[in-house]
Amino acid sequence: MPEEMKNKTPSDRAKQILSAIIDNYIEEGTPIGSKKLSSYNRFNLSSATIRNVMSDLEDLGFIASPHTSAGRIPTSKGYRFFIDRLLEFQPVDSNEIASIKDTVSKTKSSNKDLATNVSTTLSAITQLAGIVTVPKQHKSTLKEIDFIPLSEQRVLVIVVINDSEVENKILQMKRNFSRDELQISANYLNQNYVGRSFEYIKNNLLTQLKETSALANSLMNDIINIADELLTNQNKDEYVVTGKNQLLDFEELSDINQLKELFDAFNEQQLLLQLLDKSISTSNIQIFIGQESGYRIFDNCTLITAPYTNEVGSVGVLGVIGPTRIAYQRVIPIVDVTAKLLSQSLK
């Protein structure tokens, strides 16, 4: 691109044509040429005039020509200019708001269930993949714990955290334990550590183990391992992605190898967590278009996110992921409203 074009601002006419190109591509997913644009009622321009304006937009890097077509499609830079300068948001439908309110108000069983249900609702409303991080607890304390022996040296741990959140975890132990042995362990923890954080429980048990040699041959080592497992689980960042199959409907994401890499990235979590971490510390909608994410696997995708809060501060991020031709004017307000309604429900 010539140096003088980098900072050039499109004319009003060019902005209108860019908006039309983006609107068409979002709706139809196909390149558009000057002849079709000249037939639009909003333009009283010849095909030749529109072709010249499109040439300027291409020089600016806002549109590009796919190899297989003479028409043009938006680039990530074009989408960014459109969102920052030209976009007019659509109000969220009242039925969609009611659906979101219903989801965030009725989910009380666990943070994981809450994240799953909100993600599912976002996906259903937007027809994109929904993504929601599991709310981070600023302080997780023990309310009650119980152990149930399973086969093959496994133990089911049922733990009530804070006021009402229930988590189940299966632990692989080094030997089989009887129901009586596990009941003694549960009674010990419930009698001595209710209301304490899991980190405190672990550290206090370690101190007791060092001070009382008689405990070395008891269940104390196993109780410490259980507390350590639960503490690790509480501190682990986690998110839920639902509606991944929605992405199969978009031709630009239909390459099987690309989809496999994208789904692997969802499952591996690390890349998305790094992107989501950029959103949790802000109070605004974040939009990563194509190469803006910094990760090749998301070059043909857009991620739209918003943080959600409780009375203490930000505890998670929610959003959607799809192709770059997302209907931004509709989807951005949906993500924004969902974050606000979820925040209200947590306060």
Which CATH number belongs to the domain containing residue 220 in this structure? 3.30.390
Q: What confidence score (pLDDT) does residue 50 get?
A: 93
* Joined tokens for residue 310: 């409780």
- Among 202, 220, 235, the domain boundary falls at 235
* Joined tokens for residue 258: 């690309």
Q: What confidence score (pLDDT) does residue 210 get?
A: 64
Query: 33-51 burial, b for 16+ CB within 10 Å, e for fewer?
Result: bbeebbebeebebeeeebb
> What is the mean pLDDT of each successive set of 10 residues along the chain, which is 347 residues long?
63 94 92 90 84 94 83 94 95 96 81 91 97 78 88 87 78 81 86 83 73 54 63 65 92 85 84 83 89 90 94 88 95 97 90
Q: What confidence score (pLDDT) does residue 215 get?
A: 45
Cβ-proximal residues to 327 (8 Å cutoff; 6+ apart), any chain: 26
Based on the fold, state whether residues 317 and 255 are members of the same structural domain: yes
Q: What confidence score (pLDDT) does residue 278 get?
A: 82
Q: Beta-carbon neighbour count of residue 92 at 10 Å?
A: 17
Beta bridge partners of 239: 133
Query: 298-322 burial, b for 16+ CB within 10 Å, e for fewer?
Result: bebbbbbbbbbbbeeebbbbbbbbb
Based on the fold, state whether residues 205 and 164 are members of the same structural domain: yes
Report the domain count for the chain. Answer: 3
Q: What confidence score (pLDDT) does residue 347 get?
A: 80
Domain that holds residue 68: 3-86
Q: What CATH number is given to the structural domain containing 296?
A: 3.30.450.40
Q: What confidence score (pLDDT) does residue 214 get?
A: 46
